[in-house]
C-alpha cells in the first residue's frame, strides 16, 4: 500500500471514529486542525494542506448534521403524541375520501403528506389544532408548512410519498428528515436530507403502531 493510500485509509477511519463519538469530539478535532493550519499553513506541502482543508470542511458539515439530528430527537420526543394521532387522523380522512370516490382528494392527500413529512428539526405545527394549539401557532404557520410540503410533493422530494405511507413505510428514526430551506439558517442549507457518508446506518422499516408512536 502506498503512503498516500495508507494516509487516506487512516483519515477515513479517524473520521468515522470522530463522527461516531458525538459533537464534542468533532469540535475538538476541528479546533486541532484549525490550530495546525494557523501555525503551519505556509510550511505544509500543498497535498497535505488540501487534504486538511477538505477534512476540516467535512467535519464542519458533520457537526451541523449532528446538531440537526439532536434537534430532531428533541422535537421527536416532545411532539410524538400529537404527531402520532394526527397521522392516524390524516390517514383515516384520506382512506375515507378514496372510499367515497371523491372527485378531488388533493386536500386529504396534502394533509396526509403533511402529517408524515413535517420537518423533524422544527416545532410541530398541528394540522388539526385544539383551541390551545390555535392560540400558540397562528394559521399562517400552518399555511407556510402546507405550501412548503406541497412544493416538495410537486418536485417529488418528500421523504415519504403517499404510496410509501399506504405501504407502511416509516421515516428512519436516525435521519433528520425534510429540511425546509426557507426556514433554516443559511449556513445549514448545505446539509440536505440525505445523510453524509459514514454518518447514517440504514435500518429496517418498522411497521407497528408502537414504532410509529415513537417516531
> Could you write out the DSSP letters of every residue in 19-61?
HTT-HHHHHHHHHHHHHHHHHHTTTS-HHHHHHHHHHHHHHHH
The reported pLDDT for the residue numbered 203 is 30
Mean pLDDT of 188-209: 41
CB atoms closer than 10 angstroms to residue 55 = 17
Mean pLDDT of 115-127: 94
Mean pLDDT of 202-215: 42
Whether residue 17 is contained in a domain is answered as yes
Domain region containing 170: 6-213
Question: 1 vs 180, which has greater pLDDT?
Answer: 180
Question: 206 vs 83, which has greater pLDDT?
Answer: 83
pTM recorded for the entire structure: 0.69
Domain count, the chain: 1
Whether residue 112 is contained in a domain is answered as yes
The reported pLDDT for the residue numbered 196 is 39
Whether residue 62 is contained in a domain is answered as yes
Whether residue 1 is contained in a domain is answered as no
Amino acid at each position: 500500500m502506498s503512503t498516500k493510500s495508507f494516509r487516506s485509509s487512516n483519515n477515513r477511519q479517524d473520521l468515522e471514529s470522530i463522527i461516531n463519538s458525538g459533537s464534542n469530539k468533532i469540535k475538538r478535532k476541528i479546533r486541532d486542525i484549525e490550530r495546525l493550519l494557523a501555525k503551519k499553513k505556509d510550511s505544509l506541502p500543498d497535498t497535505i494542506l488540501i487534504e486538511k482543508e477538505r477534512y476540516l470542511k467535512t467535519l464542519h458539515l458533520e457537526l451541523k448534521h449532528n446538531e440537526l439530528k439532536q434537534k430532531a430527537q428533541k422535537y421527536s420526543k416532545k411532539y410524538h403524541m400529537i404527531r402520532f394521532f394526527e397521522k392516524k387522523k390524516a390517514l383515516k380522512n384520506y382512506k375515507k375520501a378514496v372510499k367515497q370516490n371523491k372527485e378531488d382528494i388533493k386536500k386529504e392527500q396534502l394533509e396526509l403528506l403533511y402529517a408524515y413529512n413535517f420537518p423533524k428539526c422544527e416545532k410541530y405545527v398541528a394540522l388539526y389544532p385544539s383551541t390551545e394549539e390555535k392560540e400558540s401557532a397562528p394559521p399562517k404557520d400552518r399555511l407556510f408548512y402546507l405550501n412548503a410540503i406541497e412544493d416538495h410533493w410537486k418536485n417529488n422530494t418528500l421523504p415519504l410519498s403517499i404510496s410509501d405511507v399506504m405501504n407502511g413505510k416509516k421515516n428512519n428514526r436516525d435521519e433528520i428528515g425534510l429540511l425546509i430551506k426557507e426556514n433554516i439558517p443559511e449556513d445549514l442549507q448545505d446539509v440536505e436530507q440525505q445523510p453524509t457518508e459514514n454518518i447514517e446506518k440504514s435500518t429496517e422499516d418498522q411497521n407497528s403502531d408502537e414504532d410509529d408512536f415513537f417516531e
